[in-house]
Every structure is written in C-alpha cells, then in structure tokens.
Amino acid sequence: MSSPAKAVIDPIHRWVTFSPAGEPYGIGVMTVQGVVPLTDLTPVPGSPHYALGSANVRGNPAPGIDAQIRLGLSGQVPSDSS
C-alpha cells in the first residue's frame, strides 16, 4: 500500500527588508509587486494619516505609504535613500 502524499513546504524564504527608524522589518517577496523610487505623490482626500498620496507607476495608481508612521515609529521625511 502506498502512503498518502505529503505537502512539501519550501524551507527557503525570501524577504524584502527595510528598516524604518532603524527597526528591521521584512515582507515575503511573493507579496511585493514592486519597489520604485520615490516620485511626486498626489494627495488623496480622506486617506489615512500615514498615506502620503498616490503615484503613477507604469500607468497604474500606486499608494505611497509612510511605513514609519504606519508602524507607529517616529516619522522622518522620506528621501531616495529611505
């Protein structure tokens, strides 16, 4: 008799990492659609306080989120290196 098939779990995890306010965080690479440079953001009325606005990324709207504020860390002015 053959044994039932077992689910194979890939032990290798890949992460997109970032460090707002020096605190390390990571998001599974498969949940990230892309990382783009900071561009001009258009404010969106009624959006949460951590939402900086919306950007046009390859013809599609993309939210600009301040991760430091969203995670409850001290806010810092975003730059290309942050």
Q: pLDDT (tens digit, 9 = 90+) per residue, 1-59?
A: 555 656 666 678 889 998 887 888 898 998 988 888 877 899 999 999 999 999 998 89
Residue 64 resides in a domain: yes
- List beta partners, residue 28: 15
Residue 1 resides in a domain: no
Residue 39 resides in a domain: yes
CATH number at residue 53: 2.40.50.180
What's the whole-model pTM score? 0.59
Residue 10 resides in a domain: no
Alpha carbon of 16 to those of 28, 39, 68: distances in Å?
6, 20, 16
Q: How far apart are CA 60 and CA 28, in angstroms?
A: 22
Residue 57 resides in a domain: yes
Residue 8 resides in a domain: no
Q: How far apart are CA 68 and CA 21, in angstroms?
A: 7
> What is the total count of domains within the chain?
1
Structural domain including 61 reads 34-74
Residue 38 resides in a domain: yes
